[in-house]
Copies of this chain bind each other. A is one copy, B any other.
């Protein structure tokens, strides 16, 4: 129950304490089941902000902010390709969450 772990877990909980952000994380698990095809392969690079915005029914600025929150919490990572920013799950970090829970909670 180190202090750093506790802080990490807190940031994760804060990031997920919003219904839309929680939903987005679920959609990103199987991107091709939830989003339309795009310029680059979503299974590799992730999904662009515009698609997430449309799917979630939120404004462009809110979508961008939400993805930043999820990224700062370590739950997603991003790749910039041309004019698009693709977001995908940080699977290593997510896989480590149960351990973080049992260590800190």
Contacts and interface: CB of A to CB of B under 8 A. Distances in A.
Interface in A12-46: 13-14, 16-19, 22-23, 25-26, 29
A24 B29 CA distance: 32
A52 B68 CA distance: 35
Contacts of A16: 9-10, 13, 17, 105
A30 B33 CA distance: 44
Q: Tell me the number of copies of this protein.
A: 2
Given A10-B16, A17-B17, A22 B105 contact: yes
A97 interface: yes
B94 A105 contact: yes
A55 to B, nearest CB: 15
Given A10-B18, A10-B22, A17-B17, 8 more contacts: A6-B22, A9-B22, A10-B16, A13-B22, A22-B104, A29-B105, A94-B105, A97-B105
6 contacts: A6-B22, A26-B104, A94-B105, A97-B101, A98-B101, A98-B102
